[in-house]
Structure 1
Amino acid sequence: MHKLRITNIIPRENHNVTINFEPVSGEFPTYKAGQFLTLSFEFANRELRRSYSFSSSPDVDEPLSITVKRVENGEISRFLHHKIQEGDIVDALDPQGLFIYEPIEDSERTVFLFAAGIGITPLFSILKSALVRESKSKIVLAYSNSSPEVTPFKEELQEWAKKYPDRLQIIWIYSNSKNLMTARLNRDYILSILKNHLPAPHQDVLFYTCGPVIYMDLCRFTLLGMGFDESQIKRETFLLPENEEDDDDETEKEVDKTTYSIKLNFQGQSYHLDIPYNKSILDVGLENKIKLPYSCKSGMCSTCISNCSQGKVRMSYNEVLTDREVENGRILLCTGHPIEPDTIIDVF
């Protein structure tokens, strides 16, 4: 755990706030563009963790910073918006996340960034790293908001566009636009953007998307339909979909209510745990005072990735692991439920 001091709090458009930090002692671990920071808080003898993407870039001389959107019923987001002050010290875990950009200084590629609202946060970090570290690569940012007045980082992005006029193209998309054809991102609009900015060969193209799930699915399915490979398309999810169930599916589903025993290997020790059907492996591990790695508890980050070396695990939600990784035994502790007896889990 790291101690970080808040050095500055900057209000942003549309109920967002940027928080700058400095390490209290020593150096903060190196992070990568696109990763997130997990903050840990103690309230009434319970630990709450929340993860926020870095809006700063590790390749730019600027403070370590995150940007947080106020959530009406969000306990931590309201605390960060209304309670914290400059000089306060908070606890933070090591940077995490697989939604990263790895600069290659001699590369000459085109990077498309599709952002909606506060989804710009990790993409702003990626944009800055790509422009600073790669002198030949070009960045195309398609940025969706309801209006110019509520667009986070609008002025900062305009400054970056002025600084790199030949390498950064920003497509501002506003839903209040009078031109309905370009008021919202849609399949035809994506095709048009790529037609105007897509270089050849296509192998040197990367796509990063961040926003609501339906927004990212639109980007992904359109790009896959154009023939791009899965490996070229990255996505970062902030919120769970409101409803993952099919409203038209009224069939009665059989629920396995068996309690399965598992062996959990972590930091050189083995733990034998009984996992009831309505609790995840992470839930039971934490109840047994095992200091397992975790952050989002929702299957949307990579902090609790582990390996199932024996038996089988069902995940109630997975926004991180690929089908191949799942086939090879990778699981998420936070949404993982054993479905066979004597399952063995190895925590990284």
Structure 2
Amino acid sequence: MYALRIAKIIPQPNNNITFQLESTDGGYPPYKAGQFITLSFMFGDREVRRSYSLNSSPDYNEPLSITVKRVENGEISRLLHHTISEGDIVQAMEPQGLFIYEPEQYKVRTLFLFAAGIGITPLYSILKTALLVEEKSKVVLVYSNRSADQAPFREELEEWAKRFPDRLTIVWIYSNSKYLMKARLNRDYILSIVKDHLVGPKEDALCYTCGPVIYMDLCRFTLLGMGFDTNQIKRETFLLPENEEDDDDETEKVIDTTSYQIKLHFQDETYALEIPYNKSILDVGLEHKIKLPYSCRSGMCSTCIAQCSKGKVRMDYNEVLTDREMENGRILLCTGHPLEHGTEIEVL
């Protein structure tokens, strides 16, 4: 854990606040552009963790920063927006996440960044790293908001565009626009943006998306249809998708209510656990006071990746692991449920 001091609180449009953080011992935790940091809060004996993408860049001389949207009835959101003050200390875990950008100084490529609302936070970090470290790449930010006055970092982004006029293009999309064809991102709009701004080999381009699931699916399916490879398209999810189930599906759902015995290997210790059907492996591990790594608890952040070395595990939700990784036994503890007695899991 890192003890970080709230150095500055900066109001942002649309109920967002940026928190600049400083180390209490003179050093920042190392991180990569696009990663998130998890804050830990104790309420008596109860620990609550929340993850926030870093909008600061490790390649720019600026404070470690996160931006938090006010969420109605959000326990930690309310705390950060209404209680935390400059000078307060918060506990943070190591920065994590696979939604990262690895810059290559002399690479000639186009970097397409698709952001909706507060989804700009990790993409702002990536944008700065790409412009500062690389010399020949072109960055195209496609940024959707309700209106210009509700777009976080609008003035800062305009300054970056002035600083790098030949390498940064920003496509501002406002849903209150009277020009309805370009008031929202759509398939044809994506096609025209890529056609107009792609430089360098198409196979070298990278596409990052961050926003609502439907928004990211639109980007992904359109880009795949244009011939981009799946490895060129990356996404970061903040919230679980809603209404995943088909209300018209009347197929009888068969629920396995068996409790399975497993072995959990973690930090040179082996734990024999019984996992009931309605609890995840992470849930039971934490109940046994095992200090397992976790953050989002919803299958979206990669913190709790583990290896199933024996038996089988199903996951309720997964936004992180690829099909190949799952075929090779990778699982997420937070949404994972064993399907066989004797299942063995190695925490990575």
TM-score bucket of the superposed structures, by smaller chain = over 0.9
- Cα displacement (A) at 1:75: 0.3
Identity %, equivalent residues: 74
Equivalent-residue separation in structure 1 for 2:129 and 2:213 (angstroms)? 25
Name the structure 1 match of 2:339: 339
Q: Which runs of 5+ in 1 are unaligned?
A: none
2:69 aligned partner: 69
What residue in structure 1 maps to residue 183 of structure 2? Answer: 183
In the alignment, what sits opposite 1:157?
157
Amino acid at match of 1:47: E
Separation of aligned partners in 2, 1:53 and 1:106: 27
Deviation, structure 1 residue 28: 2.2
1:16 maps onto 2:28 in alignment: no
Q: Does 1:235 align with 2:221?
A: no
**Corresponding position of 2:325:** 325
Which whole-Å CA distance do the structure 1 matches of 2:270 and 2:18 have between them?
A: 41
State the Cα deviation string for residues 33-89 of structure 1 (Å, max 9, x = none): 000010000013200000000010000000010000000111001100010001100
Deviations 1:220-274 (A, max 9, x none): 0111111111110000000001121112212110000000011000000000000
Which residue in 2 is equivalent to 1:169?
A: 169
The reply on whether 1:60 has 2:64 as its aligned counterpart is no
Give the partner amino acid of 2:217. Answer: D
Equivalent positions of 1:129-278 (< 5 A) are 129-278=129-278
**SS at structure 1 position matched to 2:278:** coil
Deviation at 1:109, TM superposition (A): 1.0
Q: Secondary structure at the match of 1:289?
A: coil
Query: What amino acid does structure 1 have at the position aligned with 2:226?
Result: M
**SS of the residue 1:141 aligns to:** strand
Tell me the alpha carbon deviations over residues 121-144 of structure 1, each in whole angstroms, 9 at most, x when there is no partner: 000000000000001110000000
Q: Secondary structure at the match of 1:120?
A: helix
Alpha-carbon offset, residue 17 of structure 1: 0.2
How far does residue 26 in structure 1 lie from its aligned partner after superposition?
A: 4.2
| Corresponding residue for residue 2 of structure 2 | 2
- Give 3-state SS (helix, strand or coil) of 2:84's partner: coil
Q: Distance in 2 between matches of 1:296 and 1:214?
A: 20
Mapped partners of 2:26, 2:247: distance in 1? 53
Which consecutive segments of 4 or more residues in structure 1 shift more than 2 A? none
Letter in 1 for 2:318: N
- Hey, what's the Cα distance between the residues in 1 that align with 2:119 and 2:216? 10
Native 8 Å contact 2:262 2:341 kept in 1? yes
Q: Tell me the SS of whatever aligns to 2:128.
A: helix
